Amino acid sequence: MASVKELRLRIKSVGNIKQITRAMEMVASTKLRRFQDRAVSSRPYAEEIAGLVQGLAAVLGPEALDRPLFNVGSGEKICVLLVSSDRGLCGAYNTNLFSELERWLVVQKSAGVEEQDIDFFVYGRKGFQYLSKRGLNVETFLVEPPLESIDFSQAAATSNRLVEAFLSGAYKRVELLYTSFETMVRYVPRVVPFLPVEDQASEGDQEDSGGASDVILEPDAETIFDSLIPRYLEVRIFNALLESLTSEYASRRASMKAATDAATDMQGALKGQYNRLRQESITMELLDLVGGVEALK
Amino acid sequence: MAQELTLRVITPEKVLIDTTATSVQVPATDGSMGVFPRHAAMIAALGPGHLTFNDGKQSHDLFVAGGFAEVHDNTLRILTPAGEEPSEIDEERAKEAEVRARARLKPSRTDMTADEARIDIARANAALHRALMRLKVKGHAR
């Protein structure tokens, strides 16, 4: 059984931890709100771009899909952009991401793709550390700028790098592994195909093939389409990054809240123990005194 | 009352402008293009350049860094990676960018392959164009 003094020290240190976790919870909530706002305000642009892609794909018809970015690449390897966090203390955020990665690797293996044939582009130090420890190929670790201060032009630069890597013929596919933000308490790691683009654009064929055909196109559909697709890909990367960041902070806030609550509980329990022990020792002293006085009589 | 169309300038960060206008000039890749109310449905690719619109009282200037213009149901939507009002344009930075781009266009560099040089020249040209357009929009507003 701990002594009164030890207990007092422990109560104090739990209190300190509680202060820190509470502060971190506040910081995480503020950042969460900021990234959420950004995600919301980027939505109109993303929707418009996706709408244009669908409309134009409908105008151009099936031959639109016969472009380098729409066909499986000539390479043997697969490229993955992994979006993780730079810092820990965010609950199961990274762990969930990595177990999704492991699941995906197993699926790839059963499809005949070995681990050496997968190259990674990584956001976030945690992801880089994990991949290095696992012995997987890290092609590029995207450190500059840090993920947190990402803006659209940097997301666009990353997208262009991926597109260049794909067009260079080294890869047959490019995939995104990020955490999609569904609600405040639900964020799911997910692998989505990034390149080739076939899937998303062909959805548009059925949707509005009627209305879009009598649109004036300046200079012409092909040119617009060619410059539209990179924009579309940029938006997808930007969204994936924003969603991951939002998820990270939602996860961090939740785990810091749990930590603060746990500290409060522990403080309560320790305080109870401390009071009981203190009372016990006072009673003992009193008994000693009374016993001493009795003996002197 | 003059006829109006809805103008929305949308960037990835936010909806920059959502207003009505009596006329808009957009920097299409083939040159500046006027859009008036009840324009036919259209999709146009934009280059970096100078967007002007008249909201019925006065005309406004804006720099757009390329993108697309879509006209549909009397609404003109400009999708651009970046849009800046004249007051937001950093004149110093644009001038520096202009100087840098001009330096890169000097044919003195031999440390690159032909392919690299071609890409580099294209990039420098684009950067120069952007810088000049920013300065133009800035100058126009004064």
Q: How many other C-beta atoms are found inside a 10 Å radius of the C-beta of residue A276?
A: 11
pTM: 0.82
- A50 part of contact set with chain B, CB < 8 Å: no
| C-alpha distance from B73 to closest chain A C-alpha (Å) | 11
| C-alpha distance from B80 to closest chain A C-alpha (Å) | 8
User: For residues B96 and B77, what is the distance between their CA atoms, to the nearest angstrom?
Assistant: 31
pLDDT in tens, A172-210: 889 999 999 888 888 899 998 888 886 554 444 444 444
Confidence at residue A252, expressed as pLDDT on a 0 to 100 scale: 93
- B77 part of contact set with chain A, CB < 8 Å: yes
Do B94 and B80 fall within a single domain? no
CA-based nearest residue to A89, from A222, A294, A256, A234 = A256
Cβ distance A218 to B68 less than 8 Å, yes or no, reads no
Residue showing tokens 């924003």: A242
ipTM at complex level = 0.76
Domains contained in chain B, number: 2
Q: What tokens appear for A112 in the block?
A: 């005949």
Over range A24-51, report the average pLDDT.
Answer: 90
Show which of B64, B84, B104 is a domain's final residue.
Answer: B84
Chain B residues lying within 8 Å of A226, measured CB to CB: none
- B41 part of contact set with chain A, CB < 8 Å: yes
Whether the Cβ atoms of residue A174 and residue A82 lie closer than 8 Å to each other: no
Do B10 and B78 fall within a single domain? yes
Do B57 and B22 fall within a single domain? yes
Do B127 and B98 fall within a single domain? yes
| C-alpha distance from B127 to closest chain A C-alpha (Å) | 14
3-state secondary structure labels for all residues of A67-80 = CHHHCCCCCCEEEE
User: For residues B50 and A231, what is the distance between their CA atoms, to the nearest angstrom?
Assistant: 20
Do B10 and B80 fall within a single domain? yes
- A44 part of contact set with chain B, CB < 8 Å: yes
Do B50 and B80 fall within a single domain? yes
pLDDT in tens, A149-158: 888 888 888 8
Show which of B84, B104, B125 is a domain's final residue.
Answer: B84
Do B53 and B119 fall within a single domain? no
Q: What is the CATH number of the domain that holds B122?
A: 1.20.5
DSSP state of B36: -
Domain with B53 in it: 5-84
pLDDT in tens, B99-122: 888 887 776 656 667 777 777 777
Do B56 and B21 fall within a single domain? yes
All structural domains of chain A: 25-256 (3.40.1380.10)
Q: Select the residue of A42, A219, A227 nearest B30 (Cβ to Cβ).
A: A219
pLDDT in tens, A252-292: 999 999 999 999 999 999 999 999 999 999 999 999 999 99
Q: What is the CATH number of the domain that holds B48?
A: 2.60.15.10
Query: Residue A286: in which H helix or E strand, if any?
Result: helix A221-296
Report the percentage of chain B scoring pLDDT > 90: 18
Over range A215-220, report the average pLDDT.
Answer: 80
Cβ distance B43 to A38 less than 8 Å, yes or no, reads no
Is A167 or B138 the better-scoring residue by pLDDT? A167
Phi, psi of B123 (to 5 degrees): -65, -45
Do B75 and B29 fall within a single domain? yes
Do B62 and B92 fall within a single domain? no
Cβ distance A48 to B70 less than 8 Å, yes or no, reads yes
Residue showing tokens 């929009």: B137
